[in-house]
Amino acid sequence: MTDTAIKPATISHWINGVSTPGTSGRSAKVYNPATGQMQALVDLASVEEINAAVAQATAAAKTWRLVPLSKRAEIMFRFRALMDAGRDDLARILTREHGKVHGDALGEIARGIENVDFACGIPNLLKGGYSEGASTGVDVYSIQQPLGVVAGITPFNFPAMVPLWMIANALACGNAFILKPSEKDPSASLFLADLLKRAGVPDGVFTVIHGDKVAVDAILEHPDIAAVSFVGSTPIARYIYQKGTEHGKRVQALGGAKNHMLVLPDADVNMAADAAVSAAYGSAGERCMSISVVLAVGDVGDDLVNAIASRLPALKVGPGSDAQNEMGPLISREHRDRVAGYIASAEADGATVVVDGRKQSFEGDGFFLGVSLLDHVKENMDAYKDEIFGPVLCVVRVPSYEEGLRLINENEYGNGTAIFTRDGGAARQFQFECQVGMVGVNVPIPVPVAYYSFGGWKASLFGDTHMYGPDGIKFYTRSKVITSRWPEPSSSKIDLGFPQNR
Ligand code: NAD
């Protein structure tokens, strides 16, 4: 069946609390990756549409910041209850547009809801400080105020969780929020919009604008947007950070990753193999916290590669809607072919293809690729250097802990890493020495809980604050310090000296 044989649905913007069809005349195709068929067209916003949406959000922000903290918390609790009830429906949307299997989609949603849990505590999170009697008759106190209108630009790989990293805290802090989701799987954002409205978020406080570079640039240039949170690939993250800050905005831009798992010779090989398989192939390797490189130290290499390889034939790859499948398709045909190209290039460069996902055949036109395991990968190979973002695990043999650490620290990215060992001292040394933002000790995917913050180092994050948790509250508020006194008017006099605290 061709694209034109299907009558596609249209996915519209969400402005001022209602579904709002686009007027730009431009749209993008949204596919079902499991069938390879186009299933909808998503409107792509023009600059004028962005400007109109920002105007609505600016007006809404003025009244939203007046809503008491207790009321904002109440709305978050209601949103949480609706999210909880909607897990299955949202998971099906994720599977349909992203391709991930239902269980994995439920996991994404659960981790997203954690951020709503955190935001439910907003009255406690926005408590300032107070110093009575900082000087004679003078009190000093701090308050945190919302920024106004803030925007989020999100990637395809977590269409629900990553927006929730931003939305929950930004709204609870009293901002209006404009979301520009990935145009590849845009429907989850509208599901969230509907739930937020039903939870009591006033119209205009939450906006969804679909779009491409035109919309992103309009957001970055708009004078009434105070801050931008971005999650996506490193080249775009760098661009967003540069352009956003040039236009006077606060920006946090999270980029790509190449996460290494260091396996010491004393590690439990079966546990390390289970962890490597789970973290490399879950969500078809399309996670920024996927393990894409295993560094096998010393003589653990052969046993570990055999243990990983022996697990792969049993993995079930197929449509995410089928409950028995553990891994779904990739996001697009082009991306699937690009990932397969890395297997070919590594093979040509001398790596050993232990398991070749290209050889697995699938029915239909879905964007499937089987799992691949590459051994004896070297530093100079593209498969090692680039973020592949697919179900390809590279094993690099290293002679020592020091050599493994060198590779991790010299890598351009610093999102996540993990060490597998039974030696507590080695693990402690590793957490101290590695130049990576999120570290797992016998934990392959160390995504922090919502009451810590998420963020990598080096080319995995541009900006000063990590995302969600305490850093999220800091990012979405501005602090103000008030120095106050209530003297007897009769004691007033002129004093040109610089005020001293006495
Ligand atoms: P992407 O960078 O292609 O797209 C991200 C967003 O930027 C989308 O909303 C997209 O519409 C927009 N965009 C794309 N090209 C643009 C351009 N030229 N100008 C302006 N905006 C543009 O990323 P993706 O493919 O959707 O997501 C995968 C990437 O995201 C991977 O690199 C992955 O590692 C990364 N990621 C990082 C994290 C993290 O926390 N560090 C989390 C999830 C994903």
Choose which residue among 156, 228, 240, 461 to substitute to test ligand 1 binding: the one with the highest number of ligand atoms within 8 A of its C-beta.
156
Percentage of the residues of the chain whose pLDDT score is greater than 70: 99
Q: What is the pLDDT of residues 82-126, one digit of tens each?
A: 999 999 999 999 999 999 999 999 999 999 999 999 999 999 999
Dump pLDDT digits (tens) for 256-298.
Answer: 999 999 999 999 999 999 999 999 999 999 999 999 999 999 9
Q: Above pLDDT 90, what percent of the chain?
A: 97
pLDDT band at 1 (very low <50, low <70, confident <90, very high): very low
Percentages helix, strand, coil for the chain (3-state, rounded to 5) are: 40, 25, 35
For ligand 1, the distance from its centroid to the CA atom of residue 299, given in whole angstroms, is 38
What dihedral angle (degrees, nearest 10) is formed by the CA atoms of 39, 45, 50, 52? -90
Q: Would the pLDDT of 398 be above 70?
A: yes
Question: What does each C-alpha distance from 489 to 271, 485, 486 come to in angstroms?
Answer: 74, 11, 9
What residues have CB less than 8 Å from 398, skipping those under 6 apart? 295, 296, 297, 298, 404, 407
CA distance 379 to 406: 11
Q: Which domains does the chain have, with CATH numbers?
A: 3-255+460-481 (3.40.605.10), 259-441 (3.40.309.10)
- In short, whether 257's Cβ falls inside 6 Å of ligand 1 is yes
For helices 87-97 and 187-199, angle between their N-to-C axes, nearest 10 degrees = 160
Q: Residues 349-382: pLDDT tens digits?
A: 999 999 999 999 999 999 999 999 999 999 999 9
- Most ligand 1 atoms within 8 A of CB, residue of 233, 289, 438, 467 to mutate: 233
CB 35 within 8 A of CB 362: no
In whole angstroms, what is the distance from residue 360 CA to residue 368 CA? 9
Query: Is the CB–ligand 1 distance for residue 49 below 6 Å?
Result: no
pLDDT confidence of residue 4: 47
d(CA 389, CA 502): 61
Contacts of residue 122, Cβ cutoff 8 Å, sequence gap at least 6? 69, 72, 73, 76, 172, 173
How does 172-198 read in b/e, with b if 16+ C-beta sit within 10 Å? bbbbbbbbbbbbbbbbbbbbbbebbbe
Cβ-based neighbour number of residue 334 at 10 Å:
10
Question: Chain-wide mean pLDDT for the chain?
Answer: 97
154 lines ligand 1 (CB under 6 A): yes
Q: What is the Cα–Cα distance from 196 to 79, expressed in whole angstroms?
A: 6
Main-chain dihedrals φ then ψ at residue 42, nearest 5 degrees: -105, 135
Q: Tell me, using a 6 A CB cutoff, whether residue 215 lines ligand 1.
A: no
Looking at residue 501, its pLDDT comes to 86
- Give the model confidence (pLDDT) of 147-189 as tens digits: 999 999 999 999 999 999 999 999 999 999 999 999 999 999 9
Q: Would the pLDDT of 2 be above 50?
A: no
Pairing mode of beta strands 138-146, 149-153: unpaired
The partner residues of 413 in beta bridges, in order of sequence, read 458
Instruction: Transcribe 166-181 into DSSP letters.
Output: HHHHHHHTT-EEEEE-
State the closest ligand 1 atom to the C-alpha of 454, by its place in the atom list counted from 1.
40
Two structure tokens written together for 389:
């973002």
231 within ligand 1 shell (Cβ under 6 A): yes
SS3 336: helix
